[in-house]
Structure 1
Amino acid sequence: MNHVLEPPDEPGRTLPTTATGAPGHHDPDPPLVDVAAYSAFYRAEVKALVNFLLWMGAGLADATDIAQETMIEAYQSWPSIRHPRAWTRRVASRRYGRRQFGQEVITEPELLSPLLSASADLCAWEQRHDVLRLLAMLPWRQRQVMAWTFDGYQPQEIAVELEITPEAVRASLKLARRALAEHLRRAGEST
């Protein structure tokens, strides 16, 4: 028996079908987004999300692009997101990983910031960028775990978000801290 599909409700959109290809029931309209709650979340978290990506080794341009793409996806999925702060970091982290490892050449992250204001603390700015340079030398998983740690997450929480064991998180933290300490020790000896 040949089933004929009804025309889609919108251009480019097809109706869901059953296993036999027959038109299925149309899902009800998606839940409405609480725009005020989303807007407050966006304003509070977008800069922190960019910083999170910088800790992971993303350049400023990539970090802002990925943060915006992630926030758009968060808006589209807002009614179903239970822990938006962790959700945005998980999605942004995965998106950055795909972008980074999808490229043949992985470049050193851009460490330039937008123009500094006259009241900016230049010493703090330089220290932050020194830390970013150090983190960029770590392997991917170690940078990822350090970024979550810098963002205030505990190993158990990081394990859940990255879908790895807490032991693997602790091991990555230990290796990252050891590598950073060794680099700082060698840098101190050379000065």
Structure 2
Amino acid sequence: MAKAFHRWSTLTAPRAWARTVATRLWLKQQFGSREAPGVEGEVGQDGRLLITATSSELDDLIARHDFLHRIAILPPRQRQILIRSFDGETPAEIADALDMPAETVRSNLRHARKAMQCRVRREGGELQ
């Protein structure tokens, strides 16, 4: 954001600029460069990243974004546990990390998954 302050007078779309910078920083952190492997793109006039090719990493990113958007209905603890599970941690690993019994983790996962299934059914979609 310090870059935005220095360039403020030249920014025509500050939100789009911030989104683009954040996307590039995330890609650099995840993949070691400003672009994901197999993804080509350019920045449009509004500052958004225009992706012209797809890859399995991009498909994973889209699925993760959809998942994170859908879990917003969950209570914070269930959301935290479900995200850790989505990232590949086992209930035992989650329990150790959060200093709680594994049965509590499994119970939270069960309730979170049930809530997610209900939401997906209401939306007419399906869980992947």
User: Which of 143, 148, 173 is the matching residue for 2:79?
Assistant: 143
Structure 2 counterpart of 1:146, which letter? L
Structure 1 counterpart of 2:108, which letter? S
Q: What is the identity percentage for the equivalent residue pairs of Structure 1 and Structure 2? A: 42
Partner of 1:134: 70
Structure 2 counterpart of 1:136, which letter? A
Partner of 1:152: 88
Partner of 1:117: 51
- Aligned partners of 2:89, 2:71: CA distance in 1, in Å? 17
Structure 2 counterpart of 1:117, which letter? I
CA displacement at 1:117 relative to structure 2 = 3.0
TM (norm. structure 1) is 0.36
Paired residues, number: 79
| Structure 1: runs of 5+ lacking an equivalent | 1-60, 69-113
| Structure 2: runs of 5+ lacking an equivalent | 1-21, 30-47
- Aligned partners of 1:145, 1:116: CA distance in 2, in Å? 33
In terms of Rg, which structure is larger?
Answer: 1
Question: Larger % of strand: which?
Answer: 2
Question: What is the correspondence of 1:23-102 to structure 2 with a 5 Å cutoff?
Answer: none
- Aligned partners of 1:129, 1:153: CA distance in 2, in Å? 19
When residues 188 and 139 of structure 1 are mapped into structure 2, their CA distance, relative to the original with a 3 A threshold, is same
Q: Which has the higher contact order (CA 8 A, sep 6+)?
A: 1
- Aligned partners of 1:115, 1:146: CA distance in 2, in Å? 29
When residues 181 and 159 of structure 1 are mapped into structure 2, their CA distance, relative to the original with a 3 A threshold, is same
TM (norm. structure 2) is 0.52
